[in-house]
Amino acid sequence: MTHSSAIHVRRAPTILEPDQSRVLLRPFTPGGPERVGRIISRIMSLPEDRVGLLLEEISAEFSERHQHIRTLFLERFEQVRETLATDEGVSEQRRLLIGSYFLAEYSLESAALFNPSIVPHPDQTGLPAGALRFILSLRATGEGHVSSITFRTGIVHPDQRIEVCNPTGFLTEPRQIPNPRFEKELFGRKLLELGLSGEFTRRVMHKLGDSFALEELRASLQAEQFRLPDGMTQGDQDEAQGIWMLARSNYEVQFQPEQQLSARILFPATPSQRNGIEDARFVCFRNEDGTRVYYATFTAFDGRVVMPELVETSDFLRFRFITLNGPAAQNKGMAIFPRKINGLYAMLSRQDNENIYLMFSDNVHFWNEREVLLKPVFSWELVQLGNCGSPIETDAGWLVLSHGVGPMRQYSIGAFLLDRDDPSKVIGRLREPLLKPNQNEREGYVPNVVYTCGALLHNGELIIPYGLADHATGFATVPLAEVLAAMQSE
């Protein structure tokens, strides 16, 4: 029996194309403080009646595109008001107008909407028997090739038909939660790993309790800076900057419950994410007490360095961003197993751009050791091999979708099987790709690529959302039994 007849992959008609009309209001700062001050001075010179007319025009043009636009104008005014000589006697109209000059629309997915992952929705009420509601995360790429995380909801119907709900037209960023608390022990471990272990760092940390807030850290840093009689050495300054950057990279954000899931945008918010949050691999993780939490590993990119980071949420309203620590937390493509194995967290990774590795840890935030799990063998993966999302638990073992890069830099999706009790044992592997670009999927931003960041299993069918040529997103379904039957032992 040939492989093509053994596995029947069905491509769904649903295609998610990037939509340039989905825009987010972002801060716009043309030049430094001096230029901002000159712009504000020009606005201040406008007569009050002209201010009112301009504000009416702007509100009429943009209020249908953004919720609570006046609130956003006022918030932005508060962020630039320090350049005003005095803001006494500045009318609310003028404050609103000033705020509008320092905002701009950002088309979130103007370039691409791709590399999805899929997890069961926490709310499965109101569905017919055999249906499943899901959450789809997607990498949205816009101007400047900056990537962020956007979401869709949908339903896998009993007949395996895939329906993705239309997204809302309004997009919102979350509020950053002030004063998140840090655990001193974990924070200290990361500082040590970063090489921040000098006398300055020790004195700063000594002032802090077992847990501390960002403002307490700021106060300790400032106290130490002012304490030094001869000023800070370059080494002290480097340590202070490193401590502060680490703290800023660990933060929490909160959406409001009335904001639809498709309106919630996780946009880069820290220096390490400056150029994008890429390829989030979401997994529904089952704790040992039966509770569930959603983890997503992703790649933070600052334009020069790629850093693996972690986000966790229980409800898709509050998200906690955390640095991944340890010498094995490197490069791209990390994917967490959906439960502990023998009392330890487990994760797949690809530190060397070629092979798939396996890691274990007693702390989901720290990863110290790795071992090679799988190397490229077949012609369609000889350039590199990597995972395509978190392993899926089946009665036969841990099913892992993989990606392989072959001739002409063609990306294909394959699969392999790991032992349930000892995932360091590879017990099966597809010799041929499960999914490779067809004639309709080859054209796009990066030709000849199919790629996914996570699939799910429902009623014996694998549901695989996948990126098409780094441009759009499609779906495929395939019977699990056929995939397992085609596996050959290592």
Transcribe 50-79 into DSSP letters: HHHHHHHHHHHHHTTTSTTHHHHHHHHHHH
**How far is residue 477's CA from residue 161's CA, in Å, rounded to a whole number?**
9
Pair 397, 421: CB distance under 8 Å:
no
Residues 6+ apart with CB under 8 A from 159: none
**Per-residue confidence (pLDDT) for residue 91, from 0 to 100:** 94
Of the listed ranges 144-153, 175-184, 434-443, the least confidently predicted one is 175-184
Q: What is the pLDDT of residues 207-242, one digit of tens each?
A: 999 999 999 999 999 988 877 666 778 888 889 988
**How far is residue 347's CA from residue 337's CA, in Å, rounded to a whole number?**
6
**Per-residue confidence (pLDDT) for residue 453, from 0 to 100:** 98
Q: What is the pLDDT of residues 121-178, one digit of tens each?
A: 999 999 999 999 999 999 999 999 999 999 999 999 999 999 999 998 899 999 988 7
Transcribe 225-286 into DSSP letters: HHH-TT---HHHHHHHHHHHHHHHHSEEEE--TTS-GGGB-B---SGGGTTEEEEEEEEEEE
Q: Identify the architecture of domain 3-19+108-175+251-486 in CATH.
A: 5 Propeller (2.115)
pTM for the structure as a whole: 0.92
- Other C-beta atoms closer than 10 Å to the C-beta of 200 total 22
> By C-alpha distance, which of 270, 165, 163 is closest to 214?
270
User: CA-CA distances (angstroms) from residue 435 to 7, 8, 131, 221?
Assistant: 10, 10, 25, 53
> By C-alpha distance, which of 108, 95, 96, 30 is closest to 65?
108
Burial class (CB in 10 A: 0-12, 13-18, 19+), 444: middle
**Per-residue confidence (pLDDT) for residue 169, from 0 to 100:** 84
Q: What is the pLDDT of residues 470-490, one digit of tens each?
A: 999 999 999 999 999 999 987
**How far is residue 399's CA from residue 242's CA, in Å, rounded to a whole number?**
40
Report the DSSP pairing between strands 10-11 and 472-479.
antiparallel
The one-letter amino acid code at 207 reads: K
**Per-residue confidence (pLDDT) for residue 228, from 0 to 100:** 64
**How far is residue 484's CA from residue 269's CA, in Å, rounded to a whole number?**
42
Q: What is the pLDDT of residues 314-336, one digit of tens each?
A: 999 999 999 898 889 988 889 99
**What letter would DSSP give residue 309?**
E
Phi, psi (degrees; rounded to nearest 5) at 280: -70, 130
Rg over alpha carbons for the chain, rounded to the nearest Å, is 25
Q: What is the pLDDT of residues 371-384, one digit of tens each?
A: 999 999 999 999 99
pLDDT at residue 3 is higher than 60: no
Q: Mean pLDDT in the chain?
A: 93
Dihedral angle sign, alpha carbons of residues 163, 168, 173, 179: negative
**Per-residue confidence (pLDDT) for residue 84, from 0 to 100:** 80
> By C-alpha distance, which of 164, 249, 154, 233 is closest to 198?
233
Token code pair at residue 249: 């990279």
Mean pLDDT of 357-372: 95
Q: Where in the chain is the domain with CATH 2.115.10.20?
A: 3-19+108-175+251-486
Intra-chain end-to-end CA distance of the chain, in Å: 20
Pair 331, 386: CB distance under 8 Å:
no
pLDDT at residue 2 is higher than 60: no
**What letter would DSSP give residue 303?**
S
